[in-house]
Amino acid sequence: MATPDYQTLKDELLLALDTHIDILKDASYIQAEHLDGIMFMMRSFGFMLDRAPKVLAAEDPEEMNYQMFQYYSLLTELKYNLTLNFPYAKINDTPLLDIVDSFPTTYEKEMKSWWEATTGLQVCETKQTIEIKEFEY
């Protein structure tokens, strides 16, 4: 399993940013009781995508690999947290988990392998307290 090249990862990151922007511009109906979940999701996206503009501007393949490993890992964490803590929350009557599922995860396995090969550390998907088969890749 080869690590995707810089341009391939760049395209994936740009798609993630575009998906996030679509959420922001299309959020026309939010119920007050769902705000906690929505705020949690938006803060999570902030952490996931915070470095993205700098990484895209730098055109550094190692930084892109790290950015995408971090993005995929945090996206999976977000899915777990929404499922466990905010399963009821919606924007425009769409469950947050459905919204998060629209974010790209094309190279998640490859970036996990890259991280393990680069650092010598093993990524353990079972570190969560609950296992949800739908989130496995």
pLDDT for residue 126: 57
pLDDT for residue 114: 94
The secondary structure of residue 3, as a DSSP letter, is P
The identity of residue 34, as a single letter, is H
pLDDT for residue 119: 87
pLDDT for residue 129: 47
C-alpha to C-alpha distance for 111 and 77, rounded to whole angstroms = 16
Q: What are phi and psi of 134, to 5 degrees?
A: -60, -25
With respect to residue 38, please indicate whether it lies within any of the assigned structural domains. Answer: yes
With respect to residue 64, please indicate whether it lies within any of the assigned structural domains. Answer: yes
Domain with 88, as residue range(s), is 6-135
- Say what the pTM is: 0.88
With respect to residue 48, please indicate whether it lies within any of the assigned structural domains. Answer: yes
With respect to residue 1, please indicate whether it lies within any of the assigned structural domains. Answer: no
With respect to residue 102, please indicate whether it lies within any of the assigned structural domains. Answer: yes
pLDDT for residue 137: 64
- Closest by CA to 49, choosing from 72, 29, 31, is 72
With respect to residue 116, please indicate whether it lies within any of the assigned structural domains. Answer: yes
With respect to residue 108, please indicate whether it lies within any of the assigned structural domains. Answer: yes
The secondary structure of residue 90, as a DSSP letter, is E
Instruction: List, for the chain, all residue ranges whose pLDDT scores fall below the cut of 50.
Output: 129
Q: How many domains does the chain have?
A: 1
With respect to residue 103, please indicate whether it lies within any of the assigned structural domains. Answer: yes
Tell me: the pLDDT tens digits for 64-87?
A: 999 999 999 999 999 999 999 999
